[in-house]
Structure 1
Amino acid sequence: MNRAQELARSAAEAAEVRAHLAHPDVVALGIERVRRQVDWMCWSGIVLGLAFTMTNVQQFAAGSAAAWSLRWVAAWVLDPTVSLVLLAILRAEQVTARYRVATGAWVRRAKWFTLAATYVMNTWESFVARDVAAVVLHSVPPLVVFAAAEAITDLRDKLTEAVIAASAAGGPVVNAEVHEVGARSRKLFADYLADARAAWSPGVEVTPAWVREVSGCSRGLSSRLARALADEVRA
């Protein structure tokens, strides 16, 4: 085998490997691995941050109570009460974000209230004492938890969108296989477009929201579907 034949064989092998690496299922698997790593690191930071705040909240609730008195012991219950509610909300958002289901206003209010309560109870005595160093020390963990709690939901949503974008990039736009995460069946871009096309009638404004309503597609896919159908309508 001469040099040209070796290069041709190497090129063919590289093309085959690249085709497999670019396959939507392979890309989705890689993103799922990243999602697990992100979840593990964020959850570790959140749990450690809440564990750090537990002692401060207990001291805030116990006040001048004697050690091992009823009030002193009951004070240890306050922080887990708030933290468990927060963790329950974050765990639920982990699932809703994965399947791109929007939560109600009360979910966000409850999350912010628990985070604000944790922050106030951690820093109250430091603010009263006007100890700037203590305020900074006791502010960092609750604020990190707050930032992580807000960021992790958006990160999951974007990772899901990355799966959809990678799937769409696996072939021509019209024939791209789009994975609706968690769905048992696979639906093609063309199928969603056909559903939207069948539902459209003259005078109807083609918007991503309308496309989602009539086709059941995801938010990340609706914009491209709306553009594609709008181009057909204008043509």
Structure 2
Amino acid sequence: MTERTEGVAAAERPPAPPTRAERLAQDAAAAAEVRAHQTHPDVVALRVERVRAQVDRLCWTGIVLGLAFTMTNVQWFAAAGSTPWSLPWLAAWFLDPMVSLVLLAILRAEQVTARYQVPTGLWTRTAKWFTLAATYVMNTWASWADGSLSGVVLHSVPPLIVFVAAEAVTDLRDKLTEAVTVAFTDAAQRAVHERAPRRKAKGRKLFADYLAEAREAWTPGLVITPAWVRQATGCSRGLSSRLAAALSREEGQS
């Protein structure tokens, strides 16, 4: 067999299957790539964002269903024995949507303000409580007047659920927004630490180190803000919010 024939035969021969070590090396490379994407700060924050969206949808569904349940009772209260399909009877159907739409508008606004952790003020909470209280009174008035405890309980549950959910969802949004920031910051710090050379790991500044520097730089009467923390410690923008919150708690600032 000539050398040319041997070369053609070798070219046509199928490649040798990868060894166990080569397969393990390929699996390790693929796993490292997947983990790099899964632990990326934006991906971690996106997971928390998705949870926040699910919480919003569930709370909104419960609130809308609760308000829909109260509509008939409010109409009966407003109609006050009017003849069915008369003008007073028809007009009574507008009372519950009037109150509910104001409440939903307030909750929708708080959905945005809570996302950016902006306080809404006293009038907003007063309007929310007033609409919820009005819905509760109109739902349970007839049961109280008849002395029916079972009716009071039945017609109290939906308004109270709406009231509790309306209060709880605002706090949940605020905490979930904070969780997004913390998750992003922690993931970013972890990614930087993993990329840093091992010989420099001992010199990496920790959260406690930044907090100690900020504590030393702070003087009584100075308002603690993330911008001031960045100037005093040289930390990142994402970390400055956590440092400012921790130092404010220590010094009694809200």
Q: Assess if the C-alpha contact under 8 Å between 1:164 and 1:221 holds in 2.
A: no
Partner of 2:219: 204
Within the alignment, does 1:15 sit opposite 2:32 as a pair? yes
1:143-201 CA distance string (max 9 Å, x none): 1111111111112112211211111112338x79xxxxxxxxxxxxxxxx8xx97xx99
> Structure 1 residues 172, 126: closer, same or farther in 2, change over 3 A?
same
Is 2:76 the counterpart of 1:27? no
Residue 224 of structure 1 is matched in structure 2 by 243
User: Considering only aligned residues, what root-mean-square deviation do their CA atoms show, in Å?
Assistant: 3.3
Q: Which residue of 2 aligns with 1:151?
A: 168
Cα deviation 1:21-80 (Å, max 9, x = unaligned): 111111222222222222222111111111110110011111122112222122111111
Contact kept, 8 Å, 1:212 with 1:218, in 2: the verdict is yes
1:214 CA drift (Å):
4.3
Distance (Å, rounded) in 2 between the aligned partners of 1:103 and 1:88? 13
**What does 1:1-235 align with in structure 2 at a 5 Å threshold?**
1-172=18-189, 204-205=219-220, 210-212=224-226, 214=228, 222-225=241-244
Distance in structure 2 (CA, Å) of the matches to 1:220 and 1:105:
31
Moved more, 48-57 or 73-82: 73-82
Unaligned runs of 5+ in 2: 1-17, 194-209, 231-235, 248-254
Specify which structure has the bigger relative contact order, considering alpha-carbon pairs within 8 angstroms and separated by 6 or more residues. Answer: 2
TM-score, normalising length: structure 2: 0.70
Segments of 5+ residues of structure 1 without an aligned counterpart are 177-192, 229-235
What residue identity is the alignment partner of 2:241? S
CA contact (8 A) 1:100 1:218 kept: no
Q: Residue type matched to 2:39 in 1?
A: A
TM (normalized to structure 1)? Answer: 0.76
Residue correspondences, number: 208
| Native 8 Å contact 2:41 2:188 kept in 1 | no
Cα 1:24–1:48 change in 2 (3 A) is: same
Change (3 A) 1:202 1:10: closer
Letter aligned with residue 71 of structure 2: M
Question: 1: distance between equivalents of 2:143 and 2:44?
Answer: 49
Q: 1:100 to 1:65 in 2, by over 3 A?
A: same
Q: 1:12 to 1:38 in 2, by over 3 A?
A: same
Counterpart of 2:219 in structure 1: which amino acid?
V
* Secondary structure, counterpart of 1:169 in structure 2: helix
Distance in 2 between residues matched to 1:226 and 1:115, nearest whole Å: 33
CA offsets, 1:79-125, max 9 Å, x none? 11110110000010011111111110110111011001101110111
Moved over 6 A (4+): 200-203, 215-220
- 1:222 maps to amino acid: S
CA contact (8 A) 2:59 2:165 kept: yes
